[in-house]
């Protein structure tokens, strides 16, 4: 592996003890040619490895969200160009996914000034809408009444 000094200047750095590198080219043209060859060979590999490191660090905690047509999603409030303060909701919705337009883009039907509009949204702006089953029951099923409490006590004694 060549040193960074060699990649830039075409010769190794001077030694502190006064010894010179005998393998260095003597003419300027040869030195320039050696620099170009070194840069053409080494720099693309350096860029590839640095890009791979950056991508690995970026994708470390990234999870790919896949949505099917008909799924309900929430959309980040930033997408609607509304004024933001600390009391506004971070996500609005739920909205229905129409179809997938690209690798990370989805067409979603959103209400717009009293009508419905279909717009494209990136996956990073979406969040899956999850319903809680306890909210789907009728209120009489889970509210404690005298009859429900008495039935539970009788069942517990059996």
Same domain, 76 and 53: no
Q: Half-sphere exposure of residue 98, counting CA atoms within 13 Å on the CB side?
A: 14
User: Do 118 and 92 share a structural domain?
Assistant: yes
Q: List, for residues 137-152, the tens digit of each pLDDT value.
A: 444 444 445 555 555 5
- Among 30, 58, 86, where does a domain finish? 58
Per the structure, the complete domain to which residue 83 belongs is given by 72-134
Read off the pLDDT of residues 68-82 as tens digits, 9 standing for 90 and up. Answer: 998 999 998 876 766
Does residue 84 form part of some domain? Answer: yes
One domain for residues 78 and 53: no
76 and 128 together in one domain: yes
Q: How many domains does the chain have?
A: 2
Is 103 part of a structural domain of the chain? yes
85 and 127 part of one domain: yes
Strand order in the sheet with 91-100: 115-122, 105-112, 91-100, 72-76, 126-128
- Pick 109 or 143 by higher pLDDT: 109
pTM beyond 0.85: the answer is: no
**Tokens at 123, concatenated:** 């996956």
pLDDT of residue 50: 94
In the numeric block, the tokens 């790919």 are attached to 64
54 and 98 inside one domain = no
């Amino acid at each position: 592996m060549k040193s960074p000094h060699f990649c830039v200047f075409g010769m190794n750095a001077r030694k502190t003890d006064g010894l010179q590198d005998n393998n260095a080219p003597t003419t300027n043209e040869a030195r320039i040619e050696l620099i170009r060859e070194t840069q053409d060979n080494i720099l693309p590999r350096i860029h590839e490895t640095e890009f791979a490191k950056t991508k690995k660090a970026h994708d470390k905690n990234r999870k790919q969200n896949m949505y099917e047509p008909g799924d309900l999603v929430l959309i980040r409030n930033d997408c609607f160009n509304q004024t933001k303060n600390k009391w506004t909701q971070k996500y609005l919705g739920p909205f229905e996914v129409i179809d997938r337009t690209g690798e990370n883009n989805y067409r979603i039907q959103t209400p717009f000034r009293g009508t419905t509009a279909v717009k494209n949204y990136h996956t990073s702006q979406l969040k899956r809408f999850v319903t809680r089953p306890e909210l789907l029951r009728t209120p009489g099923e889970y509210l404690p009444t005298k009859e429900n409490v008495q039935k539970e006590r009788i069942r517990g004694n059996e």
